[in-house]
Structure formats: structure tokens, C-alpha cells
């Protein structure tokens, strides 16, 4: 027991993957006084960071520049100097392939890069989302390929990221971290590292439990959003306002949690982690049918919204084909610049497929890729808005002046319920 609880002094922390998860962690470690080595293979990201420009909303340019000037953080695009780190945290993306299957290619590449320089006594922590068993069945063998033994010569832990970009209430330092280790010693060392950064740690008994907990957290949200999206369709068919239904139900002080309908579910976590779960379950012979159905419901929402827009235009004596439609907001959530798995982009694809003359504006995005082309942002001014047959408020960014938008538009399809206080004559809702 004494061996397990023996403290280890960490002075140098390596972070592999400097995105919305890795960069805040690297900055926090630097602020806490650690010598930080940040690694990202994207040379554009490295160049941006070295020039003092953060591309992550939760990291300020000022914090980054101060750490660069003080020498607390170094950033590069190769793994060679990781050998000098006491801890290596892997924060690379694990997205989906083109056919919507788990993609571990960047994780495997990162682990191979680390394995090539791994030295005795190092602690490796995986934060990337994986299916249960992957840390032990895929990461561990690669690290042991050079002859070192996990739990003895080096240490391995898993701690799933819980970052919600731009969340002002819950960030890296005040969101507890689940931590599991290959061995008790591995877990203790990882817990020690995070606690040294001021993060509360919740120990978890096995790697697989920690891996599965991450999938549960986000599949839970996917299921509930799918339920409310389905109910929104049922309510609309019966001329019931789903938003008023939600407000009424939310007055119950127990047994109910609010979820809101929308054009679908996007981002780096919810739709991805749900697929990781359903893919893993089906591969293991027990299909997760409820979660699979939820994913189908949410994935179909852009098509449903396009159909509602078509009917709205028909009620005005117009066809969708040839109509001018402006979509406001293409990020997956409010006030960030991330368009991964964005339902707004899929909605634009659907509207274009049906012949709509579609344009978009987003204060955080200058250009998007569609199925067969690219679309550049249009200016949000009176000249743009007045020529639209329909304006779709898909993401209610804080920068949008809703009063001006209401006055300038012919009709607004509000997918956010942010315009509920305006006269209903011009407004359509889910």
C-alpha cells in the first residue's frame, strides 16, 4: 500500500493534441507552473499558437502569450522531446469515418509516436473518447511494443474529457475528472497529477468503466434530445406549441430535466459518442436499439426542418425551389466557431438539394463545405435580409440583433425559440 501511495514529483507535462481539450489543459498546467510541451501535427495550429493567437474560445491570447514569453510552454509538431516529460496526456480527436464508424486513426498514430520515445517511469493518460476496452486492448500493446511493461516500467491511465466549449459555468477546473488506471499505482499517479492542477478527481475502478461512463454521459443527452425532437413533431401535427409544453413541464421541481428541440445534434461529443456506443454494442452482439433509434431521429431533423420550411413557403404561395433562404448560424451551438457534425450545414445541404437559393451568415464562420461545393458567408445587412423569402434562425448567436432581424424579415423560421416575445405573425417555430 505504501508503494501505491508514494507521491511522484511531476515537473514536465506533455500534451498531445492542442484542440478544445488539449490546449486548455496545457495552458492550465503552464499557469500552475509546470514546464509544458504541447504537440500538434497540424502545423497551421502550431504556427498560430507560436504567434500568440489562440483558436480555442476557452483560451485567451493573453494567457497564451504570457506563458510563451515566460517559457512555461513550448509548442511543436513532432514527438521527439516527449521523452523528457514526466506525464504525457493524449487529447487527439477520435471522430467518425465517412461511413459513420469510429475513427481511431489519430489516436493510434499519437500512441505510436509516443511509444517510439517512451522511457521508464513515464505516465501516459488517454483523454480521447474511446469505446470500452480500447485503452487496454489497443493503446497498451502499442506502448508495450518496445519491451516495457505497463504498470511496471511505465504507467497508463484513462480520464475522459468533459469539456463543453464556451460554457461559462463549468470549465476544466470546476468539472470533476473521472480517473481510472491500468493498476492502482497508475490510477494514483494520474489522480495526483490532476489534483496538482486544482481539479477534483473521482477515482473509477476500471478503465472500461471510465470509458463507458463517457459514452453514457453523451448518449444520455442524445436520447433525451431525440425524444424532445420527436415530441416536437408530434405536437406540431396536433397544433400544440412544444415550447409552451416544455415550460409547463419544467415547473415540476423533481423527476424532470429540460431538453429543447432543434434542427438536430452536432458537435464533437453527443452524435459521435452515441455512435461509438451503438457501434460497440452491436459489435459485441447486443444492439443498443433505443440509442440507435435516437440517433436516427436526430440525424433526420434537418430533413424534417427542410420540409417545414417548404410548407411555410407554400403557405405564402411560393415553392422552395427558387426561393431565397438565409440560414443564420452554422456552428453546432451558440457563440463558438465549431461546425463539426453541424445540423445547420446538413439543413443547408437539404435545402440546396431541393432547389433553394440558400445563403448563410455566421459571425464565427466565413465559409462552409457542402456536398459538392463551398459556400461563403454573406453580409448580414438590410440589403441581404430584405431579398430573402425566408430567414432561418438556426443558431441564436449573441451578436444577432433580433429586433432588427424581425423588422427586416418577411418571415423567420425560428429553430431556437429566442424570438418568442415578438409578435407571431412573421414567425414559424418547430
Cell of 147: 519491451
Q: pLDDT tens-digit profile of 328-355?
A: 999 999 999 999 999 999 999 999 999 9
- What is the rounded distance in angstroms from the CA atom of residue 427 to the CA atom of residue 356? 19
Gap between the Cα atoms of 107 and 114, Å rounded: 11
Measured N-to-C along each axis, helices 207-237 and 242-249 cross at an angle, to the nearest 10 degrees, of 130
At residue 413, does pLDDT exceed 50? yes
Q: Which comes out higher in pLDDT, residue 159 or 2? A: 159
Q: What is the mean pLDDT of the chain?
A: 95
What local confidence, expressed as pLDDT, does residue 176 receive?
A: 97
Confidence band, pLDDT 50/70/90 cuts, at residue 5: low
Report CA torsion sign: 118, 123, 128, 133: positive
Domain 2-205 has CATH 3.40.50.720: yes
The CA–CA distances, whole Å, from 187 to 57, 181, 210, 323 equal 30, 4, 12, 59
Report in angstroms the alpha-carbon separations of 280 from 90, 111, 147. Answer: 22, 21, 30
Helices (H), 124-206: 134, 140-144, 184-196
Domain ranges of the chain: 2-205, 222-429
**Which fold would CATH assign to domain 222-429?**
Rossmann fold (3.40.50)
- pLDDT tens string 367-394: 999 987 899 999 999 999 999 999 999 9
pLDDT tens digit sequence for 145-186: 999 999 999 999 999 999 888 888 898 999 999 999 999 999
CB 336 within 8 A of CB 364: yes
Q: Residue 4: what pLDDT?
A: 56
Cβ 392 vs Cβ 347: under 8 Å: yes
Task: Encode pLDDT of 18-66 as tens digits.
Answer: 999 999 999 999 999 999 999 999 999 999 999 999 999 889 999 999 9
Helix (H, G, I), strand (E, B) or coil at 417: coil
Give the relative orientation of helices 289-315 and 343-353 as an angle to the nearest 10 degrees. Answer: 50
Q: What is the pLDDT of residue 371?
A: 83
Task: Identify the pLDDT of residue 57.
Answer: 87
Q: If you count them, how many residues does the chain have?
A: 430
**Is the CB of residue 186 less than 8 Å from the CB of residue 151?**
yes
Q: What is the pLDDT of residue 167?
A: 83
Q: pLDDT (tens digit, 9 = 90+) per residue, 200-225?
A: 999 999 999 999 999 999 999 999 99
Q: Decide if pLDDT at 17 tops 90.
A: yes
Strands 390-393 and 12-16: unpaired
Q: Is 95 exposed, middle or buried (0-12, 13-18, 19+ CB in 10 A)?
A: middle
Task: Give the whole-angstrom CA distance, residue 213 versus residue 116.
Answer: 30
- Domain pair 2-205 / 222-429, same fold: yes
**What pLDDT, on the 0 to 100 scale, is given for residue 165?**
84
C-alpha 118/C-alpha 126 separation (Å) is 15
269 part of the active site: yes
User: Which residue out of 235, 269, 352, 390 is catalytically annotated?
Assistant: 269
Q: Would you place residue 7 in the very low, low, confident or very high pLDDT band (cuts 50, 70, 90)? A: low
367-369 and 374-376 beta bridge pairing: antiparallel
Distance CA 417, CA 326 (A): 17
DSSP character at residue 86 = S
Q: What is the pLDDT of residue 1?
A: 36
Amino acid at each position: 500500500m505504501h508503494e501505491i501511495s508514494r507521491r511522484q514529483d511531476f515537473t514536465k507535462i506533455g500534451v498531445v493534441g492542442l484542440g478544445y481539450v488539449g490546449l486548455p489543459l496545457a495552458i492550465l498546467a503552464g499557469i500552475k507552473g509546470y514546464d509544458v510541451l504541447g504537440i500538434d501535427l497540424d502545423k497551421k495550429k502550431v504556427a498560430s499558437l507560436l504567434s500568440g493567437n489562440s483558436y480555442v474560445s476557452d483560451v485567451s491570447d493573453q494567457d497564451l502569450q504570457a506563458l510563451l514569453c515566460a517559457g512555461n510552454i513550448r509548442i511543436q509538431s513532432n514527438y521527439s522531446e516527449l521523452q523528457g516529460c514526466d506525464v504525457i496526456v493524449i487529447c487527439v480527436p477520435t471522430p467518425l469515418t465517412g461511413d459513420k464508424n469510429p475513427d481511431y486513426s489519430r489516436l493510434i498514430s499519437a500512441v505510436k509516436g509516443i511509444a517510439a520515445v517512451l522511457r521508464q517511469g513515464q505516465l501516459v493518460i488517454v483523454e480521447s473518447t474511446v469505446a470500452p476496452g480500447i485503452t487496454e486492448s489497443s493503446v497498451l500493446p502499442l506502448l508495450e511494443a518496445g519491451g516495457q511493461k505497463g504498470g511496471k516500467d511505465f504507467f497508463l491511465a484513462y480520464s475522459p474529457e468533459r469539456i463543453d466549449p464556451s460554457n461559462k459555468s463549468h470549465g476544466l477546473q470546476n468539472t470533476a475528472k473521472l480517473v481510472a488506471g491500468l493498476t492502482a499505482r497508475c490510477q494514483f499517479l494520474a489522480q495526483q497529477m490532476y489534483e496538482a492542477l486544482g481539479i477534483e478527481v473521482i477515482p473509477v475502478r476500471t478503465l472500461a468503466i471510465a470509458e463507458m461512463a463517457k459514452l453514457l454521459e453523451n448518449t444520455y443527452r442524445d436520447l433525451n434530445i431525440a425524444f424532445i425532437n420527436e415530441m416536437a413533431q408530434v405536437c406540431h401535427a396536433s397544433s400544440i406549441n412544444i415550447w409552451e409544453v416544455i415550460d409547463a413541464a419544467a415547473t415540476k421541481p423533481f423527476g424532470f430535466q429540460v431538453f429543447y428541440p432543434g434542427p438536430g445534434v452536432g458537435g464533437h461529443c453527443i452524435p459521435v459518442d452515441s455512435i461509438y456506443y451503438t457501434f460497440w454494442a452491436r459489435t459485441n452482439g447486443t444492439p443498443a436499439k433505443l440509442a440507435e433509434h435516437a440517433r436516427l431521429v436526430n440525424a433526420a431533423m434537418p430533413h424534417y426542418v427542410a420540409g417545414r420550411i417548404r410548407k411555410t413557403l407554400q403557405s405564402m404561395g411560393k415553392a422552395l425551389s427558387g426561393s431565397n433562404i438565409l440560414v443564420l448560424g452554422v456552428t453546432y451551438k451558440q457563440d463558438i466557431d465549431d461546425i463539426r457534425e453541424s445540423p445547420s450545414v446538413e439543413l443547408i445541404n437539404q435545402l440546396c438539394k431541393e432547389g433553394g437559393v440558400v445563403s448563410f451568415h455566421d459571425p464565427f464562420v466565413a465559409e462552409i463545405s457542402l456536398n459538392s461545393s463551398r459556400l461563403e458567408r454573406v453580409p448580414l445587412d438590410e440589403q441581404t435580409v430584405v431579398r430573402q423569402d425566408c430567414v432561418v434562425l438556426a443558431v441564436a448567436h449573441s451578436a444577432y440583433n433580433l429586433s432588427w432581424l424581425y423588422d427586416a424579415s418577411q418571415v423567420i423560421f425560428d429553430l431556437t425559440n429566442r424570438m418568442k416575445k415578438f409578435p407571431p405573425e412573421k414567425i414559424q417555430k418547430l
